[in-house]
Structure 1
Amino acid sequence: MKITVLGGCGAWPTAEQACSGYLVDHEGFVVLLDPGYATLPRLLELMPAERVDAVLVSHGHPDHCADLNPFLRARALGDAPPSALPVYALPGALDAVLALDNPRMLADSYVLREFEAGDRFEVGPFQVETWGLPHFVPNAGMRLTAAGSVLAYTGDTGPSPEIVTLARDADVLLAEATFPEQVLPEKDAPFLTTARQAGEYAAEAGVRRLVLTHLWPGSDPSTAVAAARHAYSGSLDIATAGMVIETDS
């Protein structure tokens, strides 16, 4: 399994970093996971839009799905539009972004396949398991398995014991870590995760590699790493555009 980071900035993109977006490739089948703000230009640096085989979206906040619109435009309005792309999301999560255009213009470019948190399904060679994790809107944590390799992804989430279940023995845990030590304002603490908490979950789950993502724009990545290190001693990175992770399995 090959994982390529398109962006890992929370809330809005910066001049250096797009929002959440990841390509997951196994034996040539490419999944676009969370096409957040400004991820399409990063994707197009690597491949044409037509090269993607499926899209998975964790939740409906625009920093995780806004670039689905230009991505579908790039597929639908090109000289040789490809076949309809399967797009997987929770019920209603993509209503707003799909309403940006006249429905007829993009109608043939995608097939929406809504799932409920807790569902399991196949996407090409990937087995996908999902968990409902706490956020301001419904959010699905996802576990993608292919040929023995496992990527666990939290989407955006508050503290939950389900994160350990989601991430158990994963090769890679891609974990939201908006703040290093404390969620601010405090009223948001049930809906977001700190880097320290991500490190604790990674240690308890026994993951091989922890990648912190969704850091607050402009924050110092070294503070997130230091916070996660309180509990996690394994391989640890910050999700940055262009990072490529290849699992051994």
Structure 2
Amino acid sequence: MRLTVLGGCGAWPTVRQACSGYLVEHDGFRLLIDPGYATFPRLLDHITPDRVDAVLVSHGHPDHCADLNPLLRARALSATPPSPLPLHAPYGALDAVLALDKPSMLASSYTVRSFWPGERFGIGPFAVDTWNLPHFVPNAGLRLSAGGASLAYTGDTGPSPDISRLADGADLFLSEATYLYTVPDPNDAPYLLTARGAGQYAARAGAGRLLLTHLWPGTDENAALKAARDAYNGPVAVASTGLAVDAAAC
């Protein structure tokens, strides 16, 4: 199982970093997770739009799904449109982005396969387990298993005991880390994590490797790494555009 980071910036993209977006590949199957702002051009650095086999979205915030629109446009408006793209997302999460164009324009380019966070299902070669993790909107923590390897991804979340269950023994733990040590607004604290918190969950779960993502724009990556390493002794990196990780090697 191989993960390629298309972006890992929280809230909005910067000149160097797209928002959340990850291409996960196994046995020739290409799964796009969370196509947020500015991830579509980065996807094109690796594959053409017709070669995406399925999309999996953790929640409906645009920094996690806005670039689904150009992906579907590129497929629907091509000279030889590919078969409809399966879109897996929590119920209602894609309503806004799918409403950006008139239904007749894109309707033949996708099929929506909604789920409730907490359900288990398959996508191609991947077994997908989901957890209902706390955020401002319904958010699914995702765990993918294939070929003996496992990838756990929080989406966006606040503190929860389910994070340790999600990441338990995972080869690769991709965790949101919006802030360094504390969430500055107490009203946001139940719905966002810190780099230090991500490190604590990785340590409790015995995860093989930690990737920090969804850093607030302008965050010093070295400071985020230090905050995570205060709690976790395993390998830590920041999910920066272009980073590729073989989960089986973790």
> TM-score, normalised to structure 2's length?
0.99
TM-superposed CA distance for 1:223, in Å, is: 1.0
Q: Distance in 1 between matches of 2:219 and 2:231?
A: 21
Q: How far 1:92 sits from its partner (Å)?
A: 0.6
Partner of 2:223: 223
Identify the residue that residue 2 of structure 1 maps to in structure 2: 2
Contact 2:126 2:146 in 1 (8 A): yes
Q: Which residue of 2 aligns with 1:164?
A: 164
- Tell me, yes or no, if structure 1 residue 13 matches structure 2 residue 16: no
Matched, 1:79 2:79: yes
The yes-or-no answer on 1:122 pairing with 2:122 is yes
2:69 & 2:152 partners in 1: Cα distance?
25
Counterpart-to-counterpart distance in 2, 1:119 and 1:144: 13
Partner Cα distance (2:57, 2:247) in 1: 22
Which residue number in structure 2 is paired with residue 93 of structure 1? 93
Runs of at least 4 residues of structure 1 off by over 2 A?
A: none
User: Is the counterpart of residue 148 in structure 1 residue 154 in structure 2?
Assistant: no
Superposition pairs of residues 100-139 of structure 1, within 5 angstroms = 100-139=100-139
Residue 22 of structure 1 corresponds to which residue in structure 2? Answer: 22
- Report deviation, 1:186: 2.0
* CA RMSD in angstroms, aligned pairs only: 0.7
Long gaps (5+) in structure 1: none
Deviation at 1:187, TM superposition (A): 1.4
TM-score, with structure 1 as normaliser: 0.99
Q: Gaps (5+ residues) in structure 2? A: none
Q: Secondary structure at the match of 2:245?
A: strand
| Aligned AA (1:65) | C
Residue aligning to 1:175 = 175
| Alpha-carbon displacement from aligned partner over 1:13-39 (angstroms, at most 9, x marks no partner) | 000000000000001100000000000
Identity of aligned residues (%): 64
1:248 Cα offset (Å): 2.7
**Aligned-pair CA distance for 1:147:** 1.2
CA positional deviation for 1:45: 1.2
